[in-house]
Structures are given as C-alpha cells and as structure tokens.
Structure 1
Amino acid sequence: MLLRSVWVLWLSCVLIIVYVCNCGSVCEVDLRHRTVSRRVEEVLTVLRDLTTEVSKKDGRFQSIAHAGVNNENIKDQPAMVSKWAALLRGRCSFNPAIQVLTSSLVLVSVPVRGLIGYHQHVARQWRYYSLTGSILPTPVREPEKLHQWLELESFTSPAQDWQDAKVCVEGDIVPAKVVSLFREQLETAILTCSFSGKVSILESVGSVVRVAIETVEGVMEAELVPTVELINYWPKKARWPRLLQRWPTTERARCIKSFGFNLMATSNYHWLLSFSRAEQALLVAVDEDGGCRRKCYRVVRQLKEDTWCPGTKPVITAFHLQTLLFWCCEKFPCGRDWRCVKECVLRVARKLLKCVSQRYLRHYFVRSYNLLKYSNTTELDHTAQKINDFIANPSLYVH
C-alpha cells in the first residue's frame, strides 16, 4: 500500500510537467525567466547611466533609479517608503520603472521632477491648439477612458520650468512635447556616456522613445516614456476594489491604493493612466496562500512567446497575461484552486481564448476599458486558433 502511494505521488509530480512548446519542464520555464532577468538587469544598468546624465542636463527628468517610492518628489513621505519596503521585503529585486512586455522588449517609465501636490479637478472640455501651439478650427479629440489631459492647475506647486513653451501649451502639459524634449536630451546623453556602439535610437510609432541596447545575450529593445508619478492618490476612473470582491483582501487593497498611479506620455495630447506599482504589489504576494499562480503565469507567458504569438511586436503581451491572471485570481480567490499547475495553465488558457476570440479584455483597474480595442483582428484570430489547438490536444506539447 505504501509503495502504491509513493508511485501515485511520483506520477502526480510527473503530470505537473506543463505544456510548453520546445520546453518540457517547469525548470526550463524558470531558466527562461532567469535568462530574461539577466538581460533586463543589464538594460537597466545602461538606462540608469543614461537617465542620470539626462537629469544632469535637464532637472525635469529623473534617473530611473528614483522611480516609484524613491522618487525625489516624495522623499518627505518616509511612511510611504517604509510601507513599500515592508511589502517587498524578502522578495526578488524589482525596479518599478520597468515592465517586461516580451523577452526582447521592455517598457521603461522615466520619472519627472517638479510636479507636486496633484489634485484632480474638472478640466475644460475642448482644446483648439496643435502641438506647435497654433489655433485649430476644430477641437482635438477627447481622451478615452484610460487617458486624460494634464494641466498645470492640477498641481499646487509646479516648478517654474514646466511652464516653458517647450512642454506646455495653454496651461496643458503636452506629452508629445515632453517626449520630444527627452529624446533630444537622450541623444546627447548617449554620446556623453560613450554608448554610441551599444545604444541606438529607433524609429517609433506614437509618443515614445524606442531604443535598441546590445546585451551579452542579444539585442533588447526598450520604450522609454516620461512619467508623472502620483503617490498616495487614486484616480476616480479606477473604481476598485469592487463590491464583495474576495481577492485581494480589503487590507491589501487599501495598501495598494495608497501607492497611487502614474500618468505616462504615450500619445500626442493625452496622458495614459498606469498602475504599475499597484500591479507589482499584487504580484509579489500573489502566492502567499501557497498557490501556483506565479508559476502558472510564467508557463502561459512562455507558451505565448514560443507558440501562440511570438515575435518582437506580439498582439498579446505580458501585460495582457498579467491582467488576465488578476481576473482569474478574483474568480478563484482560494489557494486550493491554485494547487495543480497543469489544471491552472489550462484554466488561464481557456480564459485567454475567450478574451482573444471576443476581442475583449477588460483593464483590471479601469474595467470599462478594453485592452484589445485597437489590436489587429487578423493577428488575434491566428492567436485564438493556436490557443484552441493547444487546449484541444495539450499532449502534443509535452516531451
């Protein structure tokens, strides 16, 4: 009887081997994670030097070393810094300035300095100016649900240099102008830091600065976005947590909201709401009950990168999968629902298939916004077919 029990236990462990194309074990998923982490750390080292140099030339921009609760704008809030440190104590190293979108692409938030005392107020509805400041006969398009205008009047103590026409038009801080200024400073910093052979600025779509960085293990691309970090303030658009929500706990949700949100300069006129600190706070404690949520996320992520939608510009990114994981955690809040990696991977895959097929994935904090609204429908259909093939016969992916 004992021998039989041992045999059943061993067989169960074997079945936990996950369905990853070109990779037959959880260990290889962890190996991929460590490899990407090394590349990201090398990229961060380069970007710290570059953004530090930019900050020396233009004090409106800070080094990415000062992102999150290390932002110089909140150095007078020791309680906030202490709370963040306590949350991450004993966890893996983390820089709140970076989001890994794929194994070869990262999104980097470059914090700005000099915008203090944010408060949300009713802004004027229409804008009739171009990026150069000239008058337009028709208004600029209104911001969508995950975007907003940003006025100098939103801050009690904006620094004088933010009123400069290089970044401001009619009282609005214009993201495209901020990005243009940052790009100029970055080009100079690359030469000053002697990174000409290691870092190159690429053509980019939208209001971001995209660079390619040579690392020991290959080229890594990074999208650098000037970011206004708003600590200890939660936007009205983010109606979270929801009524009767069982995950995360009320206490943790309250703590997460105190970390605030960001406004990122990702479009010409409108600032994008970002919740990177809140998302990290959710992730670091996601398996406190002994579940396998994080491992499940890594497995599904590798499936996406290797099989479902590979490439440097995939229609589904790590951010989409992270959002999906949060929704699954809400639906299955108990640790007992996250014991078997095999079952959990299939559960998340089915949920992803539903979202991709319907072309609808709600933002976790601003749930009225569809993250797949502007995604390429043909690519989504191809991805849905590959996910469906995996779910129909996952044994083909086991070695």
Structure 2
Amino acid sequence: MEANTSLWHSYLGVIVSRERQRVEQFQRAEDILLTLLESVHARDPRFLVDYARNLEAFEFALGASEDAVTLEVPLRIDGDTLRVLACRSRDTPGGHPAELNACWLEVCSPGTDLEDWTGGVDVMEHGGGARCLLPGKILQHLKELLVSAIVRCQRLFLLQPGDISAENLREDAMELSLLIRGSWKTIRFDIVPVVRRQQEPLQLQRLRSDRGFPEGSLRRAMEEAHFVPASPHCWSSSTHLPILKLLRGVDTLQGPRLDSLRLLDQLRDQDWGGHGGTGALTFNHLKMVLLWSTELFPSPEDWQDLEGSVYRLLVILLRCLATQHLPHFLNPEENLFQGAAPDLASLYHKVESFAWDPQRFLRFHFGLHGFSGSCQADTETRALLQLPTEDGSCWDTAYFDILLSQFQVYRIQDSARCSAASQLLSRIRQEIPQQS
C-alpha cells in the first residue's frame, strides 16, 4: 500500500515541479502580448487592455501540454444598453444554421460609446430596421490593428525578431491566433473581442446550488455575462472566465482535487493521444469532469488521498466516454463530445486500462507513447458504465459510488450514501443482462 501511494505521489511530484517554469513561460509571453495590445489601444481606444490575466496563468500552469490560451479583449461599450435577441437560422444571411446559443446584440438606444461603434464599424439591420453589432466586422478590424501593431512594435524595437508570429491568423476563424515566444517555447493565444454585460446571460439561467463548491462561488462566477463571436453575424455567451473562476474556487477546497486534474492531464498528453494539444480529449474536457466531480462528490471524505481523488474524476470520465456524452457544467444541454464519436471509442479503452492497472502508466517515458493493448475489464463494470441515461439515475452520487466500489476505491463510511448506492445497484442489476 505504501509503495503504491509513493508511486502516485512520485508521478505527481514531477508534474508539479514543472509549474514554476510554466508560469514564467506564460508571464514572458503575456508581457509581449500586452505590449501589442497597448499599441492596439493607442490606435483605437475602443479596444481595451485587460491586465488581470491571473486566471489564464493559473490555467496554463495546471496543464501538461501547450494548449491554446484564450484571451478576451473587452470592447469599450456599455453592454447593458444592448438588447440580446436569440439568433434563428432563418434570420442569418443565406439561412445558414445558427451556432448553439447564438444571439444578436441589438443597438436599441443612443449613447456615445454605441455611436462610436455603429459609426465606425458596420452594423447589420435586422427586423424592422433594428441595428445589430456585427462580430465579423469587429474581428476583421481587430485583426488589421494587430497586424499593424506588430509592425509598429518591431520598428520601435519593442519586440525582438521571433517574438510573435501571425501565420495562424485565418480569415474564417472566430478568434485571432498569435504564436508568442515564451522563453524557449511558443504559446498560442486565441484573441477574441468580448462584450461585457452585468445582466445574466440568456443560456446560463439554470443556476444550481453551491453543492461541493465554496458558498457563493457559482453566483460570483456568473455575475457578469461575456458575449464573444459565434459567427460573422451572431454572438454567444462565453463560459471561459466563469469556468476558470470555478476552478480557482475548487483550489481553495481541501484535498488533492487539482492534483487529480494535473495527473490525468499528464496521462492525456503522454498516453491517451492528447500530445501536442491534439486528440479527442482536451484539457477543457478534464476541467468539466473536475467540476462535475466537485458537485457529485461534495464530502471532504471523498478527497482525502490522491488515488481516491483521481478515481472520482475517472469514473465520471469513463461514464462520459462510454456514453459519448459530456455535458457542459454551466450549459448541461450542450454535449462537449459532440462529433468526436470515432475517437472516443479508442480513448475509452485507454482510460479504462489505466483505471484497472494504473501502475503501468504512472511513469514518464519519452519517444513512443507507452500505451499498448487493452485490459481485461470487469464485465459488470463495463455494463454499468454503458447503462442508458434517460431517467437521470446514472448522473448522481449513488451511481458513481457504485463505480468506485467496482474499482475498489470507495472507502466511504457515510451509511446513508452506502445504502443509496446499494439500493440503486440492486435496481439496475436487473437491467444489466439486457444491456450486456
């Protein structure tokens, strides 16, 4: 038992030892980017510079791979004077399908800052002459300013050769990607303009309790709405910062919760086909799994040791991979695995292999990736993971307690929880033969 515990902590220790270097790497790249954005602001004050990037640095330090960093550039506009209208496919030019949660931002009352935008950036007339801000036009204008700022900063020797590459800027993208050198590696920043509103966004109205989270953390995370481009004509509510705020809240709780995220993300990058920021499973997916596990396992008893904490995330991840459905934590109707079905089947077997034999994976290797073959999984456990979801009984604590017991990492003394898991198992065992 002690040797097993040492293996988990040794693996984690190597991961944590890299975080200081990653923070320094982020901060150097951030300094270069802020220099660029200050030049953009000097040219057009309607684009603001937000110096509060602590959450992005926090997220970057947690991850194992070089995933892109999303950076929102606030627009100087009073978002609360805009009217938010649902964007329907028949309203879009050419009748193209509207993005999920897409909306218009209608200019419905005069104001100095609104006139700055409607006079300088094209707007689209919609329904009876109403004028709506066009995100595509704003993106194009910001892109031109960024390119101009790069040239200007280089001429003034504010940037060194190789500090910034704009080769990833694409005409059809809803973000502006820049590669910025942070020490010996480059970081990709996806820059998006954002309209802020103090009112609650349309698609985040299903507020849940703070179960498992610090009191008031969900309300604070969602107290400001951020709208980002969803298409050239429509906007959508961004959950980027609310998710990071919730992640920071989890960091204040006791137990190795974030260590579990660190460890699984290293496995994703090293063994599960996520190296280089690619693959069906991303760091954003794992963040959602951690948030769900925080809600579904609210007791401190669940987070007393590293191995048990990792398995709290694992059983939820396995369930989502088996059903090919990972609900967004703030928009549960959104499936974050949508469209990734072919890759998820292979990924499921890799994650399942780790769950049954973690010692094979808890070591660092270089060159070829270490995973090969599959494991002899327990038939009943696999059937439990693949149960249908219609009645919602497979998305609660009792169901995941059953899975933890199958992997022999339950260790819960709460008699009420034990009883609930036992009753649910007795009921669903009658269905397993039909599903096997």
User: TM (normalized to structure 2)?
Assistant: 0.71
Counterpart among 275, 282, 291 of residue 317 in structure 1: 282
Q: Distance in 2 between matches of 1:251 and 1:149?
A: 30
1:79-228 mapped onto 2 (5 Å cutoff): 94-95=54-55, 100=60, 102-118=65-81, 120-122=83-85, 125=88, 130=93, 138-145=94-101, 147-153=102-108, 158-164=113-119, 166-170=121-125, 171-194=131-154, 195=159, 197-203=162-168, 204=170, 206-228=173-195
2:195 aligned partner, one-letter code: V
Asked if 1:30 corresponds to 2:16, the answer is yes
Cα distance, 1:121–1:224 mapped onto 2, change above 3 Å: closer
In the other structure, the counterpart of 1:268 is 232
Distance 1:64 1:286, change over 3 A: same
- In the alignment, structure 1 segments of 5+ residues that lack a partner are 1-10, 68-92, 131-137
Separation (CA, whole Å) in 2 of partners of 1:238 and 1:381: 31
CA-to-aligned-CA distance 1:230-274 (integer Å, 9 cap, x gap): 2x32223213432x662335533333333x131122532222322
Once the two structures are superposed, what CA deviation does each residue of 1:321-345 show, in whole Å capped at 9, x if it has no partner? 1111111100001112111111221
Counterpart AA for 2:146:
L
Distance across 2 between alignment mates of 1:359 and 1:192: 48
Confirm or deny: 8 A CA contact 2:66 2:276 kept in the other structure. Answer: no
For 1:234, the aligned partner's letter is E
Partner of 2:416: none
Deviations 1:146-203 (A, max 9, x none): x322222389764312114634222221222211111111001111111453211133
**CA shift digits 1:32-91 (9 cap, x unpaired):** 3333222211121111111110011112211232x5xxxxxxxxxxxxxxxxxxxxxxxx
| 1:200/1:287 CA distance change after superposition, 3 Å | closer
2:260 alignment partner AA: C
Q: Report what 1:279 is aligned to.
A: 243
Q: Residues of 2 paired with 1:198 and 1:165: CA distance?
A: 31
Residue identity in the other structure for 1:303: L
CA distance in structure 2 between the partners assigned to 1:277 and 1:368 by the alignment: 19
Per-residue deviation, residues 286-341 of structure 1 (Å, max 9, x unmatched):
14442211111111121112221212333322221111111110000111211111
Larger helix share, 1 or 2: 2
Contact 1:228 1:264 in 2 (8 A): yes
Q: Distance in 2 between matches of 1:217 and 1:254?
A: 39
- Give RMSD over aligned pairs: 2.9
Q: Deviations over 1:83-131 (max 9, x none)?
A: xxxxxxxxxx81469964742521211111123424655457566565x
In 1, Cα distance between the equivalents of 2:46 and 2:184? 33
- Alpha carbons 2:180, 2:187 under 8 Å: kept: yes
Kindly indicate whether residue 200 of structure 2 is the aligned counterpart of residue 237 of structure 1. Answer: no
For normalisation by structure 1, the TM-score amounts to 0.77
SS where residue 325 of structure 1 aligns? helix
1:300 is paired with a residue whose SS is helix
**CA pair 97-167 structure 1, distance change in 2 beyond 3 A:** farther
| 1:18 matched to 2:4 | no
Q: Which range is displaced more, 183-192 or 365-374? A: 365-374
8 Å contact from structure 1 (residues 175, 271) kept in 2: yes
**Which residue pairs with 1:5 in the alignment?**
none
Q: Specify the SS of the correspondent of 2:13.
A: helix
Q: Structure 1 residues 47, 160: CA separation in 2 closer, same or farther (over 3 Å shift)?
A: same
Structure 1 distance, partners of 2:39, 2:183, is 23
Structure 1 residue 46 corresponds to structure 2 residue 45: no
Task: Tell me the distance in 1 between the aligned counterparts of 2:331 and 2:225.
Answer: 12
Q: 1:178 to 1:313 in 2, by over 3 A?
A: farther
Identity of aligned residues (%): 22
Higher relative contact order (CA 8 A, sep 6+): 1
Question: Judging changes above 3 Å, is the alpha-carbon distance between structure 1 residues 104 and 241 closer, same or farther for their aligned structure 2 residues?
Answer: closer
CA distance in 2, matches of 1:382, 1:154: 53
**1:51 touches 1:64 (CA, 8 Å); kept in 2?**
no
Three-state SS of the structure 1 residue aligned to 2:180 is strand
How far off its partner does 1:28 sit? 1.0
Taking structure 1 as reference, are residues 105 and 281 closer, same or farther at Cα in structure 2, changes over 3 Å only? closer
